[in-house]
Amino acid sequence: MSKHTPGPWTVGHDGPSRPIILCGDNSMLSISRWIDGKFTTYENEEADAQLIAASPDLLAACKLALEDSSSDYERYDLRSETIVALTKAIMKAEGKDET
């Protein structure tokens, strides 16, 4: 299983417009692009930062949903496509994606 920086992750800003991810271990992740020797902002940068910051929570939710569906399949009436999608998302997040 791959290890990730502990949460919670939140979005902060490094300067007036560059979003960064603030991690639970007091580290920071920049999502700005380094192009031609300088940081370059892009249209979806803020939305991407929000999605990245939600990643640890999304992974935990997928694992919980898969665990619940495995132990009580009938109660939640989950279709097999849901279980497959949850499994693929977890594998991708943990670096086990085969595609």
Compute the distance between CA of residue 66 and CA of residue 83 in angstroms, rounded to an integer: 6
Q: Which residue has the higher pLDDT, 60 or 34?
A: 60
39 DSSP β-pair partners: 34
Residue 74 lies in a domain: yes
Residue 72 lies in a domain: yes
The residue written with tokens 């939600």 in the block is 54
Q: Count other Cβ atoms within 10 Å, centred on residue 68.
A: 13
Distance of CA 36 to the CA centre of its chain: 28
pLDDT confidence bin for 1, thresholds 50/70/90: very low
Amino acid at 53: A
Residue 2 lies in a domain: no
Residue 1 lies in a domain: no
pLDDT digit string, tens, across residues 9-52 = 999 888 777 888 998 888 888 877 776 777 677 778 888 889 99
Could you tell me the residue range of the domain that residue 44 belongs to? 10-93
Contact 90, 59 (CB under 8 A): yes
Average pLDDT over residues 58-74: 80
Residue 28 lies in a domain: yes
> Total structural domains in the chain?
1
Look up residue 83 and give its DSSP letter.
H
Residue 98 lies in a domain: no
The residue written with tokens 């992750």 in the block is 9
Amino acid at 68: D
